[in-house]
Chains A and B, each alone.
Chain A
Amino acid sequence: MTPDVQPTVTRPTTVGRFVLRTLGYLPVTFFVWYFAAPVLLYPAVLIVRAIAKLALPDIVRSVEQARATLTFITALRPSGAAAGSVLTVDVDLLIYAYGLPLFAALTLAARERAWKRQLAIGYAALLPCIALPALADFLKSVAITAGPAVASQTGFVAWQREAIAFAFQFGSLIVPAVAPAVLWVALHGRFLAELRHRAGASP
């Protein structure tokens, strides 16, 4: 008696199919990311709060979250403002968080068995990559953009302002884009090896 079992035929993944799947997932992951941002980004806000409390207690009084916008309430007085008024700085977290939907789309498109674990690890690893650039953005605002009257209250010396400027540039131009790709490559070594070694397959 012949067992009534048909062999499973799966189409081998090529780079082209992988790209198409990623492009198909991107609108979905962007949609979820945008509307779930207040929840998804809350752990990043906690990281920002913790660092601000530990490293900047004289500058930051509190950090508030409204949807995906962080508001830093500082202990600094705005230039030319009346006594008692304080400077607040808004930072849009989404600018630093678009790597989340990209990472999710890449992970879903790879169709690995451990995709849920990979998503969870990637999400956790990307949170500092969102929090730190957001902090650098805030520091750039108070130490450089707000002008000398505010910058002098922060107590940062010249080399620290240079470091803040570099951290802001690196954190806004490189980290949000590169972090998801690096993480995805690091977590999908087997998938990448499979793609590379597929004999005779077209890209």
Chain B
Amino acid sequence: MPRFLTVFVLLLALAFGLELTPWAQAFVVTPWTDTVARVSGALMRTFDASITTSGNVIGSNASPFAVAIEAGCNGVEATLVLVAAMLAFPAPWPHRLAGIGVGVATVQVLNVIRVVTLFYLGQWNEHAFEWAHLYVWQALIMLDVLIVWVIWVKMAQSDTAPGSPRAAAA
């Protein structure tokens, strides 16, 4: 456990430092954030035709309220945390890669749900929006990361347990 936590914290600090570089912001974070806005907008348009998106901003023709997806709300940091946790934990590489693929998708799906709920919450009540935005959804996203990681670790141990097909093949 101490080794895992040390490697995890080091990987996370490194990945976060890289994320803050102008190159990563221009070529990864900004396009990623705009994609989150586009996907969220497309999802909302399936039941709300008034939704518009422009860059990282989601608005509505029916309301003056709009949200801008910024750092901390684009799911990038949660993704970095999950990837660092999966890389730091001892597991076979195929299991790691599968976990990263499925885990990142899970985090992003929940993040899109967060964006959609925050958009409508903000139109309804500013105080509720602030609460959900600053506290509740932050905790839920990290809970999601933690649960995905726990399930992944559990599956890693099943895969490498004596008698499992993967252990037999190894």
Residues of chain A at the chain B interface (Cβ within 8 Å): 15, 19, 22-23, 26, 30, 94-95, 98-99, 101-102, 106, 166, 169-170, 172-174, 176-178, 180-182, 184-186, 189, 192, 195-197, 203
**Most chain B Cβ neighbours within 10 Å, of A15, A102, A195, A197:** A102
Least distance between B25 CB and chain A CB atoms (Å): 11
- Report which B residues bind A (CB closer than 8 A): 1, 5, 8-9, 12-13, 16-17, 20, 71-72, 77-78, 81, 134-136, 138-143, 145-147, 150-151, 153-155, 157
Instruction: For residue A94, give the distance in angstroms from its CB to the closest CB of chain B.
Output: 7
- Known contacts A15-B147, A94-B134, A181-B146: does B77 contact A173 (CB below 8 Å)? yes
CB of A126 to closest CB in B, whole Å: 13
- A35 to B: closest C-beta gap in Å: 13
- For A203, the chain B residues whose CB sits under 8 A away are 151, 154-155
Question: Are A177 and B77 in contact, CB atoms less than 8 angstroms apart?
Answer: yes
26 residue pairs from A and B, CB less than 8 Å apart: A15-B154, A19-B147, A26-B139, A95-B134, A95-B135, A101-B135, A102-B139, A102-B143, A166-B20, A170-B13, A172-B72, A173-B71, A174-B16, A177-B78, A177-B81, A177-B142, A181-B81, A181-B142, A181-B145, A184-B146, A186-B1, A186-B5, A189-B1, A192-B153, A196-B150, A196-B157
- The residue in B5, B139, B145, B146 that gathers the most chain A C-beta atoms within 10 A of its C-beta is B139
CB-CB < 8 A to B145: which residues of A? 181
- Measured in the bound complex, the distance between the Cα atoms of B156 and A192 in whole Å is 13
Of A30, A98, A170, which contacts B16 at CB under 8 A? Answer: A170
Q: How far, in angstroms, from A95 to B9 measured CA to CA in the complex? A: 21
State whether B141 touches A177 (Cβ < 8 A).
yes
Of the candidates A23, A94, A98, A174, which one forms a contact with B77 in the assembled complex, judged by CB atoms under 8 Å apart? A174
Say how far B168's CB is from chain A's closest CB, in angstroms. Answer: 17
Say whether B5 contacts A98, CB under 8 Å: no
Chain B's nearest CB lies how many Å from the CB of A12?
13
A6 to B30: give the CA distance in the assembly, Å.
62
Kindly provide the distance from the CB of B37 to the nearest chain A CB, expressed in whole angstroms: 18
Which residue of A is nearest B1, CB measured? A189
Given A95-B134, A174-B12, A186-B1, answer yes or no on A180-B142 (Cβ-Cβ < 8 Å). yes
Q: Is the CB of B72 within 8 A of A98?
A: no
B143 touches A178 (CB 8 A): no
**Chain B residues with CB under 8 A of A196:** 150, 153-154, 157
> Pick the contact of A177 from B138, B153, B157 — CB < 8 Å?
B138
- 11 additional A-B pairs beyond A177-B142, A180-B142, beta carbons within 8 Å, are A26-B143, A95-B134, A98-B134, A98-B138, A166-B17, A169-B16, A169-B20, A173-B16, A177-B77, A178-B142, A203-B151
Chain B residues with Cβ under 8 A from A174's Cβ? 12, 16, 77, 81
Is the CB–CB distance between A192 and B139 below 8 Å?
A: no
Chain B hits for A26, CB < 8 A: 136, 139-140, 143
| Interchain nearest-CB distance for A119 vs B (Å) | 16
Would you give the shortest CB distance from A99 to chain B, in whole angstroms?
A: 8
B122 CB to closest chain A CB, in angstroms? 17
Q: Which residues does chain B contribute within 8 Å of A15, judged by CB atoms?
A: 147, 150-151, 154
Which residues of A are found within 8 Å of B146, using beta-carbon distances?
A: 106, 181, 184-185
Give, as a whole number of angstroms, the nearest-CB distance from B87 to chain A. Answer: 15
Q: How far is the CA of A24 from the CA of B54 in the complex (A)?
A: 37
> Cβ of B139 and Cβ of A178 under 8 Å apart?
no
Question: B36 to chain A: closest CB distance in Å?
Answer: 15
CA–CA, A192 to B143, complex, Å? 15
